[in-house]
Amino acid sequence: MSAHLTIAATDGAARTGILSTRKGDIRTPAFMPVGTAGTVKAMYTDQVRETGADIILGNTYHLMLRPGAERIARLGGLHRFMNWQRPILTDSGGFQVMSLAQLRKMTEEGVAFQSHIDGSKHLLTPERSMEIQNFLGSDIVMVLDECTPHPATHDEARQSMELSMRWARRSRDHHRNLPNHGALFGIVQGSVYADVRQRSVATLEETGFDGYAVGGLAVGEGQEIMFRVLEETVPHMTSEKARYLMGVGKPDDIVGAVARGIDMFDCVLPTRSGRTGQAFTRYGPVNIRNARHAEDPRPLDENSDCPASRDYSRAYLHHLVKSNEILGAMLMTWHNLHYYQQLMADIRGAIAEGRFTAFQKRFAEDQTRGDIDPL
């Protein structure tokens, strides 16, 4: 199965269209909420859908450790397990092995590690990553790669990229022999070096994938460098396939990356921030824990069609979050995911109508207003 991209309109480097998968269409540019361990935290799946999400992301690392990929397969796959019947993209597990697992040892073969949950030993190879994602029933599978740490020297970046390219080919070779496999995306690496990035793009396209991700960004390099790398990388990628910027990001990161030709995003920010009390709004972020919200009767966004944004006062959200009430995480996450999906819908509309530059300008002005005025 492949993932077919149809571009409906472009505006500069920005583009909007439909990515078709076996589980349904994804409107691009798309934001994928992260469903780490088989759940978009603090959200029912029908709510996730109602915010406008066409696809969610599942984390291979978390799911392989608990409840286990084979167990999910026996229970009918991840879609049935978590009650989400639309497309699912799964990551390869590699990124989180490097950030969460214990006693990691990387070789040409793959990465050996111990679970952060129970200390059990695992070996994640390109082949095993493909098997796990296949057991999960993933509609868009990601190759196993090494997310090059930042900063890296040119030589380190090149060697790391080359390993990722060998793993990408092994991933492809194994994936295409698995039953009922989903689409497979390659991942461009190369740190901040244009020549390494471009070499990675060429190598991946030689192998051939259903879509291409840009990995190894949003790892501490800063927005300016990230945008520069995109400018040096994306124009070398085929315009025929979807382009996915992994792990990004803040609203302004997304708008800037769309302007540089990106179609897909994922990030824990709206869900994680929801649990810690940060709300994203048209007028910038709001820290709902701040005492100035304690008696503010206004909702986060009275014009929203999301109940979480419209039907609860900032005073109530402040109370819930300060009291560590589960409903605080539920409402703040719901609001944030709705904000992100509304942002993506606004982006798509602006591109379709050829006014993306004006949209960008207005977006930046609104964001720097620093939230609406206090009472």
Q: Considering the complex, what minimum distance in angstroms separates the CB of residue 59 from a copy of itself?
A: 12
**Pair 149, 220: CB distance under 8 Å:** no
Specify the residue for token string 């349904």: 24
How many alpha carbons fall within 13 Å on the CB side of residue 78? 34
- Segment lying near a copy of itself (by CB under 8 A), choices 9-17, 230-238, 309-317, 347-355: 309-317
Three-state SS sequence of 54-82 = CCEEECHHHHHHCCCHHHHHHCCCHHHHH
Q: How many residues does the chain have?
A: 375
298 in contact with a copy of itself (CB under 8 A): no
Q: Considering the complex, what minimum distance in angstroms separates the CB of residue 35 from a copy of itself?
A: 10
119 in contact with a copy of itself (CB under 8 A): no
Among 173, 295, 353, 366, binds a copy of itself (CB under 8 A): 295
Q: Considering the complex, what minimum distance in angstroms separates the CB of residue 194 from a copy of itself?
A: 42
2 in contact with a copy of itself (CB under 8 A): no
**CA-CA distance, 62 to 78, in Å (whole number)?**
13
**Three-class SS of residue 282?**
coil
73 in contact with a copy of itself (CB under 8 A): no
330 in contact with a copy of itself (CB under 8 A): yes
Among 8, 123, 326, 375, binds a copy of itself (CB under 8 A): 326
Q: Considering the complex, what minimum distance in angstroms separates the CB of residue 83 from a copy of itself?
A: 6
Partnered with residue 21 across adjacent β-strands are: 24
Q: Within its chain, how far is the Cα of 104 from the centroid?
A: 24
Helix or strand (DSSP H, E) at 225: helix 223-233
Among 8, 75, 358, 364, binds a copy of itself (CB under 8 A): 75
Among 322, 345, 352, 362, binds a copy of itself (CB under 8 A): 322
- Segment lying near a copy of itself (by CB under 8 A), choices 108-116, 118-126, 160-168, 327-335: 327-335
Closest CA to 157 of 108, 191, 112: 191
Residue 237-276 contact track with a copy of itself, rule CB under 8 A, x = bound: --------------------------------------x-
**CA-CA distance, 84 to 208, in Å (whole number)?**
29
135 in contact with a copy of itself (CB under 8 A): no
Could you confirm whether 266 is annotated as catalytic?
yes
Among 67, 149, 284, 285, binds a copy of itself (CB under 8 A): 67
374 in contact with a copy of itself (CB under 8 A): no
Q: Considering the complex, what minimum distance in angstroms separates the CB of residue 53 from a copy of itself?
A: 16
Among 22, 66, 121, 154, binds a copy of itself (CB under 8 A): 66
Q: Which DSSP state fits 374?
A: P
Name the packing angle between helices 356-367 and 326-352 (round to 10°).
150
375 in contact with a copy of itself (CB under 8 A): no
315 in contact with a copy of itself (CB under 8 A): yes
Burial 90-121 (b: 16+ CB within 10 A, else e): bbbbbbbbbebbeeeeeeeebbbbebeeeeee
- Segment lying near a copy of itself (by CB under 8 A), choices 105-113, 165-173, 218-226, 320-328: 320-328
Angle at 72 between CA 71 and CA 78, to 5 degrees: 175
Residues 349-368 that bind a copy of itself (CB under 8 A): none
Residue 163 burial (CB count, 10 A): 17
**CA-CA distance, 143 to 129, in Å (whole number)?**
8
Among 98, 327, 345, 372, binds a copy of itself (CB under 8 A): 327
Could you confirm whether 173 is annotated as catalytic?
no
Positive or negative CA dihedral for 138, 261, 27, 39?
positive
313 in contact with a copy of itself (CB under 8 A): yes
Angle at 257 between CA 256 and CA 261, to 5 degrees: 120
- Segment lying near a copy of itself (by CB under 8 A), choices 101-109, 127-135, 210-218, 318-326: 318-326
Q: Which residues bind a copy of itself (CB under 8 A)?
A: 37-39, 41-44, 66-67, 71, 74-76, 81-83, 275, 294-295, 297, 307, 311-313, 315-316, 318-320, 322-323, 325-327, 329-330
